[in-house]
Each structure stands twice: as structure tokens, then as C-alpha cells.
Structure 1
């Protein structure tokens, strides 16, 4: 025992009663007095501490550090940004793993490579045999810096306490930060080996390790040992060197692409050159692609893969046990045990994690490549063949802050039940009536993306054109006159021309396209047109996608439709250097995460020279700096297109908010049913003229609307939109002023009622129709549900430092609909008090809310004179409503 190495926290573990064992030449805690099961569960429920100071920490410095790492690692190190980390593998020439590792870039001029403890000496020998050919150095700093993994749903809260409220890292996986914990310098990585959606690894100087460990214990974290670390990583499906990497029970090298994480860890980017093992890995990757396409004709390079496995019969799997399909052995269990979990009840967001616990026999296996998800296999457990299954995964981290176990359930065919369709139809009418009365008479709607159209808009939208077609296109042979493909369309032709005139007047632009039927479609048509216009001079080759695009990140409130996973996905290129989509994001101010940092944005534009700049957010408290950025790109002669996605603020275009075209936007897209008065549709506006170079882009936008996006462009709602445009152009000044005044007053009233209102108090918290209230990390869905039970409809929202919608700690609210129904300062003050009673004091305010709402059922900012009402009644009579 005396020859074993000890971490900086050895004495701390002994004092806590840990059971110490030999692990890779280190004397490490395998468990504490509470036991492995309790440690596993506490990690999943609260927060556990793991001493990972035994891991090798290697500092890579010198002029050729990048070239060296590109050669010895499987990942694309050139794509690693400052303050980001990446999982990687040290390959050998045959495509096996010398080790797997994590590479960190806390500083511009050096990298930190963290390797497995048992492999540190072997890895150093391997790396030093190569580094002699490069002008860089490897320094083992394992003894100088300690490392503590802080893992679990409360980990961020505990670390934020130590940071004095400073954001620990950005909320995305692999983010890094250097900061101070109560006077001690630390480096924090949003990484870990437990699979927790909230998990960090904290690097501190060796002399600070005991202080940090004990301080976290004081805050509520509990120590956990190697036993729990193993069950946690197994549940998460993470490989362990010597089990899922290295050699198999037959002594054969396990190919790197046998491990699912290889698809993230291996890059074949040209800038990597002939790195170690590249040829073998390319052969494995070719086999991997065939296997994923269910082509098992040649699995020579990848005969087996690592997959999850779960026992269906009662028993316990252990590493080395044989796996059979029929009478044929198809592989082995590589890791297996009984893993505890908390039992959950309910469905969807109604799911509740109970205090009841259970166990399940799960693990990982190395099996033939033609074994598929849902295949039933058998495991030989002490001579008995027990049934097992290959599940897709054991756990999901898609609903933070909790990691959620996925118990295997085989899909079953649904049995359709006979129904009395007439009775169901009547039931539908009754249910719809009840819902209409509740939403329109008893509820206060604060969803910022919703607005009730006026009676006239609704009636027109449901009138005869709603069931018709009117496809049309400009034809050059007829001097760009529209030709309709159907008869009976003269009325809708008139409507479309009038609508275009009204929308041009409202937006202050030269051209509009109104056939798109949603804001999402507006963006898709625009992106498609931009890509087509980029390729207009070369139709003989595969079209190039859009180069760099600058937008608001979705975590910062950006529109989903402007993200690489949204409407942009089919039109954005992949940067060959970073191997990520060519999207960069607006930097935000450190002291106001809802405001774009203009000076930093200029640096980003200068570096990336984006082809497209997209302003606009769905969580929007501030004006967008369109004018400032237009001036900059003009001065710097940067050829770019500036687009403003005004989906949420289309109804605020004007003197009280922004005039996008006057400020320099070229394209505006939007939804017509949020702050605007219309039914659910979209619109595209441009400020191009026939003599402009980009007039061709406008013509392409039109063709991408029809026939590119729609055939039937929903004529009824287009007719309703014309009425909404008349209303907006007539009432916009008074309406927009009232909306923004009400938003500021509502925010102030909520603050005075004791709620935590987000935004800058110096501007009244908001410059738009939206108000954001922080109700506590991860509690947004629960609070929103409680408010709905009390007849207040809001939108729970993740703030810029939260991981996703299930971790939402805020409520996003808008005042536009209730402003139209007559709410003013008095009503919003009363509402703020009711919300505070419900949220802070748990009071039932539903009846009071309904009484308040019942006094405000008349729509304002719409035409309601006697002559108009007479015409409306006549119209209703004629159409049979």
C-alpha cells in the first residue's frame, strides 16, 4: 500500500471513513460509509463530489502545439475554441485506442490534456515518442493541480454560491471558465463522467483542494467513490478503458469506431493531415456507415460494436459474460451490474420523481455489428441463459436538470376502440365551446406570441375564400403581370394587391410577399432564396450553401427558425476548419445578457465576414442595433445581407420601437399574429428596387414563396390579414404606445409586488411588449402550471444561463393581447398583485382573476363605429354565421 500514489485529498477521504483501494496505482476511495447505492442516488438527486485528481493532467505548450495534437489525437483540435473542451482519443496505427482523453483550452497559448490515471505513464511514453519531432513541450502538472468532479442537479447552485453569483460557465456542454471561488482561483469545465446534464469538473491548485472539497460538503454536496462513478458512467453509456476500450476477452484490439462516442471524437478534416491511425480509422468509418445503413456485407474493419444491454430476466450481469443470439455467441458483456434509480410517476412535464427507489440490471456489451436495437439476446450467467435486450439507451439527459432513467419498454400495437362518431362530434363541439369561453372570458392571456384577432378579422378569415385556391406567378412574357392558374380569383387578386399596399406602407419598404403562411415559412423561403441567389452564376455544379451567418443564439433568446437546427438547417454550410455549421452568434453584454454588445459584434463581423446577419429574438427585451451594424459593414465594405426576423415585434414597427428599413435592414420577416393584429400567417418585406443588384434576390424570394413553399396559400386568412393591416395602419400609434407603456408598468408592478423581474431597471426592464420574471432555476414549468390553474396563461422560459426548457427558471410574458382588451396601468397593477400572491404565497386567485378578466371582453384598436357594426352584421347574415 505504501507504494501507491495518493491524491491531494487522500487525508480527507480517510477522515471521512472511505474504503480505500488500489486503482491504477493510486490509493482511491471506492465508497464511503453510506455505500455505492446511496452515492449513486444522491448524485442523481442532489450533488456528489468525486476526487479525480488521480487523472493525468498534461500541459501542451509551444509554437507547434496545434500540429502535434492534430497528429496524436483523433479530434479536430483546430476546431476547439477558447474556453471550450472536446472529448478525444489517442489512436494507435491500427485504429485502436491508446487511451481516451479530454482536451481543454482554458488559455489561448496552451492546451490541457487529461488522460486516464492508469494510463498516464503509458500515454506520456507514447506522446513523448512523437513530440520530439515538434517544437512544443509536454509538462505533467498532475501534482500541482487537483481536480474535483461536482456532479448532479444542484451542482450549479453550489458552485454559483462559491463564485458569488458569477455565472460558472456558459450553459452548453464542454464550456470552460476561469474564475474565483471565495478568493481562490479555479478553472471550471462543464464536463463529467456521470452523464449528469448539470455536472462540472473543477481544477484548483493542490493547496486549495481540501478547502474546496470541505466547502462544497458544507454547502450540501456529499463525497462519492469509484464504485458510484462506475455505475453512473455505465448508466450514461460512457466507455471505460480496459472494458469498452483496449482489448476484448479474446485479446483482440477493440476498434475505436466500436465505441458510440467515436462519431464525436474522430475527425477526418484535411487540416489534420496524416494523423496516427487515420487510414485504419477511415476503414472503420466506412464500415460504420455501411452498418448504419443495415449493410452487413463487409464488417471486417468493425466486426463488433459497443451497445447498451439490459436484462429482462432476474439476475446480474458482469463483465466477461458471454452474449448469445440463438445458439451463436455474438459477444461479451463489457460492464454490468445492478444500478439504482428513483421511480418516476406521471407523463411528460407532469412527471414527478418520487422518493421510491428500485434497481435494474444493465450494462454495456461488445457484440456483432449486425445486432440491432430491440434485439433480444441471452446472457450466460453462471451457466444459465437469461434473456436480455439491446435498448437504445439506459438514460436521457434531454430534460435537465435531472438525468432520467429509461426503463426498457417494447413498443406495443395500439388496439383501436370503436366509437360513436356522432357522439364524439357533439362532444367536440361542447369541449370547443367550453375552451373558447375559458380562454376568451375567464383567462388572462400573457403569452407574448399570441393575440386574439378582431371579430372582423375572424369572420373574414372564415368566409368563402378559406376553401379556395389562387395559385399565381409573374410571367415575363406578360411584362411581369401575375397570371392565375384558377378562375374565380379576381376578388382575391384585388385582396392581395391591397394587402401588399398596406404592408408596404406599414413596414416602410418597397416590396412585400404575403403568400407565406407562417413566420417559419417566411424564413425558409428567404434562406432558400439567398442560397439560390448565391449560386445564380453557376447552375452546373452542386449549389453552395450559405457561408457564415451571424445570429442570436437560441439560449440568448434567438428564434428557433434562425438556428442551424431550425429553418436554417438545409441552407447553411459546414465550416471545413471547425467542422461545425457556419454560424456565429452575437456577443452580449456581461452586465445585461439581453443586450447585444455592439463593439464585440464588430470584432466578430470583422473576423468572420458573415454573408448574412439575422437580427431578431423570441425572448426580446431590447431594440436590436440594426443602424450601428449597418454603418459598420458599410464603412468596412463588408458584403453582407442584413435581415431582421421581427416575428415577435412585427406589430411594434414604428416610432415607439424600431423602423427596421430606415435603420438599414434589407429584409424583414415576421409572423402576423403575435403583436400584429392578424390571423396566423407570415410576411416578407424587402427594400430593393429594380435597379439594385439584389433585385434578383427579391424575384427569387417570390419564386421561393410560390411555387417553392406553398400551393394553397390559405386565402381566408389572407383576407383576414388585409383587415388586420387596415386596423394596424389606423391604430398603430396609440396601440404601440400603450403596449410599451403597459409592459414597462407591468414590469414595475411585478417588481414592487416582490417578484424578480429580469432586464435593466434603467429602461423600465423592457423596450418591447415582453416582461421576464425569474421564479427560480428549474421551477418555471411548475409555476406556469400553477398560474394556469388560476386562469393566468404564461410561457415558461429558459434564461440565457439555463440549459433548456425543462430547466426553465423564468416566465416570459407579453402584454399585447390584454392591452387590446382594454388593460391599462390599474389592471396590470392588480394582475401583478394576484400573480405575486399565487407565486410567492401559494394563494388560490383563480376566481379573482376570472372576475378581473370578465370586465374586459371588448376588443379595442379595431373598427367599431355604428356604420361598421351594421356592415358586419349584414356580412354575418349573408354568409350564414
Structure 2
């Protein structure tokens, strides 16, 4: 029998009382003194540190490295950009798995492939056989020279960041990579792992240096974790293990790759791959799975069984190999099963907290007939004893960092059952009075007691609010230009003369405000305004061919949402249906603006030119929801023109529309083609959106694009365009044109004073301190990783209303470590720089010292109850009284 291999950390495992066992040809720790259950819980609560140096590691280089990988692996290796990784498989010709693996691209000309320890020799031989068909591919086994650690859990990011001496952690998204220096050595870092934890890192470094880094991570508080808990963690996450969920089933038959839910992420049929091993049977499996989703099981022979997660309902533990039944019919087997602990969470949604209590449950992965539906109960034969088990889509969810959250069978069933509607026995009139009283209380609280700092909110003037609920609220006024009538607007309803005049007047006021030629006022939100533009772009680029399938936008350049980009400009938002899939990456064809390393709230303009030249986007979208600085409109205009690109430059001024002009920024004067915005954030209006253009009517291309905007506004986006709020917006636009010269500089002065004061109080303010941290109405305060929601709630309890925000280096909104503050609304109620200085101290008292400041905040607000920058003369007051009596 060959002697077992040992990792460079073998002596450390022994010193930590690791129980050493044979595994995959290596001598590895099964667990340490704490035991498997405690190691599992420590990973879920803090951070687990795993020695995974037994995993096989191969580098692939050479001119034909990419074609080789495309042929031998199932995923699209060509989709990997620098500093990206992907889950993949080595398939067998019959559509099974020789192994699953991870492919990393830390360097332009070198790939790193990580495979399972037990399969390393077989994988190496297989790769060598395939390599013989390629002329310039070099494979190197670096398993013995390169160590590999896995750091997983909610505190892993903080621990690893504390050891960085140079470089940075990878971008906060799954599979991102970076190279940094830790403990005096270069470390390759990947946001990957095998535990289901949303915060996960795998580290590659020289074997000679791993002991020091291991020790330093333990000093940071990481818990050493052995193979036992590594298995329970991966099973709870529903992740496959070769020899159990991959390879052969208990009957000795090949388990189809698409039996695993992960196959949809690990197998690509991109034309760029060409022919690859297992392609045809894998495609048949894929087509079967797609048919199953539609309720069609005619392809069942191609994918007879699927892997499912189950929780055992009865008392007992299901182990691998146990038969699974539905009624008296055997439908499959358990492939992996165990008892796992989990922390108990209390509360709902973001307020849910991890308690000190733990529970245990028996769970399993089962390979069962594909027709068995989620939510059904099956029976597992455990040594002659039938145990009921619930079929679930997942046992753990990871999309709410920093914690992975267990989903139990009881919780899953509650989610699936329709909530019973409780019959309210009160009289209808009493119910109405109840909600009216609640509305009165809420109005008084928000308008008289609270300091409102949400940057996307604005209280309209009394005039605007009253006009918004007068007739024509509730009416219809659909209309469009008809060329047969010389582009006259033709209305489809009678009684619309007034609203036609209102709409024309609003377009003139907005054009005056923006200094542009065209304004479309019918969108009822900023997001809808963006959708109108995206739809118009697709309409415009297909104007020469109305018979073929209409193509989508080839490439769009925008801000990533984590870097403050608007949700409506993301592929998961309003852009979703208008953007093509990049045939290389198989992802939405979006290019994100690079940002400055020392100020991630600012675009790195110099780095934009090569991206523009390479991708030639058809649409560039500037504008952010987390906006501190001006956008480089003029710089990008010059680049686009110099490169002679057929690119539309759009600026989404959702948050800063009310600041348009010389005090902040005037994008049309800097070369923007289109502008969208929300009319209720820094602008004085009702909650609506606008699209504006400055195209010259004598330039056919520009005129055609604007006609497309109008077509996609109606009938493309709206039917009823909310005529009451349209009338209110007209009054708001007139107010804005009348008062902008005083309002805009006051907003910016207040924001700068607020930022300076918060900084002086000891809070960490984001942005460039050389320009007082901000050039807009927004101020961003960093309060600590994952602390944003809790601190925002504490401030609300003290009558200060703001919103928590994920920063540029955070994984998502549940991990938010910042507060986004806006001064526009309170500026309109008369607050000055010295008042924001007072407010900054009150906020610091709450955030830094946990003080209660309800009464001082209420007293501060009492001094600012009358709205400024609006018409408040006697004649206007008399008209308002007429409106009030009418209503």
C-alpha cells in the first residue's frame, strides 16, 4: 500500500489535536478538539479555516490553452476575463462526470485548474491524453509546490483584510479573483468555496509560506475545520461530492451531469466552445431538464433521476445508499446524508438576528425520479425503518450576506402555504377611520417631528400636492403625433383640451430648465423613463429591418450597482429585456465603468478609452444612485467622437435632476444625447419621470431617435399617464425655474457643510475630502461592515430618517456598511449649514455613543416646518383655499 501524502500543515494539524485519517491518498484532519458539530457552527457564525492543500492543482499554458480547455471542460473557459473563475466539470463521453473542478484565471496567459484530491491521478492522465491532440499546451502539476487554504464564514472578510499588506480583496461578487500580499508573500485570492457561505475565500500561495499565514489567520480568530465539517457544510449547501453525487449511482450506472442543479452553471453550449467531450449526451440532458420545467416529461430517458435536497421529518438519520420510496415504489437512493446543526435566527427579514441557540436536523441529498416535485414527502428506508422526508429546493440560502441562513422543512412549508386572510369583523367605516387616523399620525410624524434625509425623497409644496389630486386626476388623455396631420398631436378622448395645454406647458418649462429641444413628460417614474429610452434604442437600431427578429443592444456601458449604479440601468433591472447576451461571456453584454482606486465613487476616465475602443457600446449610461461627484460627460463625448463610435451618450439624472445647471452640471452643454430623470428627488415635483433630448430636427439620425422615444413612450410604455401628477409637475417645474438660483447652491452648500461636520464628529465620510466629500445633495457615511441596517433603524427610532447602503466593497444590501444621506428636503424646509452641523452631532451621538436624541431632534425639526422655494404670496394662498374647498 502506498504511503499517504501529507500537506505542509501536517505538523500544525497534529499540534491542534487533529484526528488524522486517510482521505484521497492523503493524511488529513477529520476534526479537531472541538468536534465536527462545533466546527460546522463556528464556520456559520464566525469563520472556518480549512487546509485544502490535498486538492489537485494544475496550471495550463500555451497558445492552445484555451481551445484545449474548451474541449476538455464543460464550461465556457473563453468567458473568463482576467481575475475571474468558474465552476466546471471534466465530462465522460456518455454525459457523466470524471470529476468536477474550478478554473481560475489569475493571469492573462495562465489558467489554474483545481480538481478533487482522490481524482488527481486519473484527471492528470485524462488531461494528458487529451493534450496529445493539441500542439501548444503545457500542463504542470503544482500540487506539491502550491498550498491551498479555504477561509469561509461571515467574519472571513474582516480577518483576511486585516492581513493584507498590499493589493486588495477581490471585487465583492462570487468567483472574483485578486492577487495581494499577506504575511510577506504573494497570495492568489478567489471568492470561491465549498460551504455555501456568502463570504468565502480560497487562497493559493507557496507551500513554504503557508504555515505562517495559517497561524496568522488563527490569531485573527479563525477556527480550524476538518474534513468532517467540510462535508456537513457542503451537504447543507446542497453541493455535490464526487463518488456520491457525481460518478456512478448505487446501481453502478452513470449519474448524468444534469442530475445536479449546478450543471446549469457548469455546462455551456456556446458556439465558441466547438466540439467538447460529452457534448451530445449533455445537450440531450439539458433539453430534458428544460422540458421538465415546462411540465413535459417525454425526455425522461435522457434524465431519469435528479438530485434533490431533503430534510428527514421523522427521528433518524439517512445515510448514503439508503433506498428512497414513494409509496411502495423505489424511486432512488440517498447519495449523502447526515445530521447537521444550525443556528436559530429570530425576527423577520433584515431584523432577523442569529441567537445563541442551536438546533439539529437530519438532511440528505437524494437521487430520485425526475417527476417527483418539490414539496412532496418521500420515504427513506433506514435499516428497515421507514423515515418520512420532505423534498425541498434548498436547505440553505446565501443571498443575504454576511450569513448563510438555514431553511427548514417547517419554514419551507409555511412559505408554500397560502396565508389565510383573517376576516376583519369591524364595520367598513371603522376600518376606514382606523387607517385615516394612522395616516394623520404618520403625516404629522414625518412632516413635523422627523428629519428626513433620504436622498430620493422630496416633499412637494402644498400647491403641487393639491393640484395633483384635482381633476384631471383619474382621467385619460392618450395621444400621439400623426404624420398625415403634419405631426399634430391627436387625442383619443374628448374633454382633454386642458390637459393638452398642461402637457405642452410642462414640456416648455422642462426644456427651459434643461436648455434642450425635446422633452417627453409621459413616463410615470424614472425607471419607466429609462425603459422608454432602452426600448427606443432597440426600435431605432432595427429601423431598417422590421421583418426579422429585432436584435437587442450589442453592448452597453454603465455603472455597476455595487459601485452606485442605478438599478434601472442594470441587466437585472430595466435594461434586462433590451441587452444582448455576450456570445463570449454568455452574460449580459454590459461593460462597467472602471473607478479610481482611491475614490470608488469617481470614474477612472483614462481607463474608459480602451474599453470604448474594444467593445464599441451602442449606449453609454452615466448617472448613479450613490452620487457624490460630477460625471465625466464631456470627457466621454470627446472619446466617443474621436473613436468615431455610433454610440448614444445618455445621462440618468434621477437623483440630481433638480441640481441641473451651472451650480452642479449641465450634461446637454457637455455633449449628452439623451437625459432621463426622476422629478421628485432633488426636483420639486410629483413622483414621475422624464426623457429629454437635444437632437437637431434637421439631422435625420437625431430626429429619428427622438421619434422612437415618443413612440415607445406611447403606446410603448404608458396608456394613462397619470394626469393629476402631471398637472402637479407643471406647478413644480414653474417653481423650479423660479427658485433654482437660490435653491441649488444652498443644497450643495448644506451637503458640504453636513459632510464636514459629520467628519469632524468622528464619523467616516466617503468621497474626496479635498472637495468637502461631495458635490451633490448626497453624503455617504461608512458605519461598519453589515451595520448599516441596524444603525439606520436606531436613527429612525430617534426621528432621523435615512437609508442604509452597500458600499463599493460590500457584497449586497444585507451586508450594507454605509448610510446614504440627502439634504434636499430639509434644505427646502429652511435648514442652513449651521443646522446641519447640529444634526451631525446628534447623529454622531446615536451612531458612536448609542445615545437617545429623540427630544433634541424633535426640537430641531420644530424650527423648520414652513416650506421655502415655493410660491407663498397672498394671491397664491387664496387660490389654494379655492382648491382646498373644491376637494
TM range (shorter): over 0.9
Give 1:85's aligned residue. Answer: 85
User: Secondary structure of the equivalent of 1:349?
Assistant: helix
Query: Which residue does the alignment assign to 1:846?
Result: 854
Separation (CA, whole Å) in 1 of partners of 2:883 and 2:289: 65
8 Å contact kept, 2:561–2:570:
yes
Q: Distance in 2 between matches of 1:703 and 1:110?
A: 50
1:328 is aligned to: 329
Q: Secondary structure of the equivalent of 1:512?
A: strand
| 1:817-828 paired onto structure 2 within 5 Å | 817-828=825-836
Q: Distance in 2 between matches of 1:717 and 1:875?
A: 15
**Equivalent residues in 2 for 1:86-485, closer than 5 Å:** 86-134=86-134, 135-164=136-165, 167-409=168-410, 410=413, 411-419=416-424, 420=426, 421-485=428-492
Mapped pair 1:740 → 2:712: no
Cα distance change of structure 1 residues 613 and 413 upon mapping to structure 2, 3 Å threshold: closer
* Deviations 1:257-301, CA, capped at 9 Å, x for gaps: 111111010011111111111111111111111112111122111
Shift of 1:511: 0.4
Q: Deviations 1:690-736 (Å, cap 9, x if unpaired)?
A: 22212111111111111111111110000000010001111112111
1:641 counterpart = 2:648: yes
Matched, 1:666 2:673: yes
Aligned equivalent of 2:839 = 831
Indicate the residue corresponding to 2:606 in structure 1: 599
Match of 1:62 in 2: 62
Corresponding residue SS for 1:503: helix
CA distance in 1, matches of 2:769, 2:183: 28
Deviation at 1:797, TM superposition (A): 0.2
Distance 1:874 1:292, change over 3 A: closer
Q: RMSD of the TM alignment (CA)?
A: 1.0
Tell me, in whole angstroms, the C-alpha distance in 1 between the residues paired with 2:421 and 2:32: 53
Structure 1 residue aligned with 2:721:
713
* Matched position secondary structure for 1:174: coil
Deviation at 1:871, TM superposition (A): 2.5
Structure 1 unaligned segments of length 5 or more: list them. none
Instruction: Supply the distance in 2 between the matched residues of 1:217 and 1:715 (Cα, whole angstroms).
Output: 64
SS at match of 1:300: helix
Q: What is the aligned counterpart of 2:757 among 733, 739, 749?
A: 749
SS in 2 for 1:239: coil
Q: SS at the partner of 1:767?
A: coil
How many Å separate the matches in 2 of 1:724 and 1:399? 39
Write the deviation string for residues 590-641 of structure 1: whole angstroms up to 9, x where unpaired. 1110000001011110110000000010001111100000011111111100
Q: Distance in 2 between matches of 1:332 and 1:604?
A: 51
Partners of 2:422 and 2:287 in 1: CA distance: 47
For the 8 Å contact 1:745–1:825, the answer to whether it is kept is yes
Asked if 1:530 corresponds to 2:531, the answer is: no
- Tell me the residue number matched to 1:499: 506
Cα distance per residue 1:817-859 (max 9 Å; x no partner): 0000001111100000000001100000011101100110000
In structure 2, the residue corresponding to 1:448 is in which secondary structure?
Answer: coil
Instruction: List gaps (5 residues or longer) in structure 2.
Output: none
Match of 1:855 in 2: 863
Per-residue deviation, residues 425-460 of structure 1 (Å, max 9, x unmatched): 110000000000000000000000000000100010
d(CA) in 2 for partners of 1:416, 1:158: 47
The 8 Å contact of residues 634 and 671 in structure 2, kept in 1 or not, is answered as yes
Inter-CA distance 825–764: structure 2 relative to 1 (3 Å threshold)? same
Cα displacement (A) at 1:875: 3.0
Per-residue CA deviations over 1:88-144 (Å, capped at 9, x if unaligned) read: 000111111010000000000110000000000000000000101211111000111
1:167: Cα distance to partner?
3.2
Of 556-565 and 379-388, the range deviating more from structure 2: 379-388
Note the alpha carbon deviations across 1:229-271, whole angstroms, 9 max, x for none. Answer: 0000001111000000000000001011111111010011111
Structure 1 moving runs of 4+ over 6 Å: none
Following TM superposition, by how much is the alpha carbon of 1:30 offset from its aligned partner in structure 2, in angstroms? 0.4
Q: Which string of whole-angstrom CA distances, capped at 9 and with x for unpartnered residues, describes residues 503-522 of structure 1? A: 00111111000011000100
Partner of 1:520: 527
What residue is the counterpart of 2:567 in the other structure?
560
**SS of the residue aligned with 2:473?**
helix
1:866 Cα deviation after fit: 2.1
Alignment partners' CA distance in 2, 1:72 and 1:21: 33
Aligned to 1:48: 48
Q: 1:800 aligns with which of 800, 805, 808?
A: 808
Provide the secondary structure at the position in 1 that maps to 2:691.
strand
1:436-487 Cα shifts (integer Å, max 9, x gaps): 0000000000000000000100010011111211111111111111111111
Alpha-carbon separation, structure 1, partners of 2:533 and 2:615:
21
Asked whether the equivalents of residues 310 and 363 of structure 1 are also in contact (C-alpha less than 8 Å), the reply is yes
CA drift at 1:2: 7.8
| Distance change (3 Å), C-alpha of 1:172 and 1:414 | closer
Aligned residues of 1:167 and 1:801 also touching (Cα < 8 A): no
Alpha-carbon distance between aligned partners in 2 of 1:269 and 1:335, rounded to the nearest angstrom: 32
CA distance in 2, matches of 1:844, 1:626: 44
Using the alignment, how far apart are the partners of 1:679 and 1:298 within structure 2? 54
Residues 168 and 180 in structure 2, CA contact (< 8 A), matched pair in contact too: no
Aligned to 1:785: 793
- Once the two structures are superposed, residues 185-214 of structure 1 have per-residue CA deviations (whole angstroms, 9 ceiling, x without a partner) of 111000000110001001111111110101
Distance in 2, Cα, partners of 1:443 & 1:506: 31
Match of 2:301, SS state, is: coil
Query: Offset of 1:166 from its aligned partner?
Result: 5.3
Q: Contact 2:183 / 2:212 at 8 angstroms: preserved in 1?
A: no
Structure 1 CA distance for aligned equivalents of residues 48 and 256 of structure 2: 33
How far apart in 2 are the matches of 1:517 and 1:771? 27
Using the size of structure 2 for normalisation, the TM-score is: 0.98
TM-score w.r.t. structure 1 length?
A: 0.99
Once residues 2 and 57 of structure 1 are traced to their aligned partners in structure 2, the CA distance between those partners, rounded to angstroms, is: 21
Cα pair 1:160 1:166 within 8 Å, conserved: no
Q: Any conservation in 1 of the 2:19–2:32 contact (CA below 8 Å)? A: yes
In 1, distance between residues paired with 2:420 and 2:274?
Answer: 57
Q: Which residue, out of 866, 869, 877, partners 2:877?
A: 869
What secondary structure is seen at the aligned counterpart in 1 of 2:50? strand
| CA 760–364 in structure 1, closer or farther in 2 if over 3 Å, else same | same
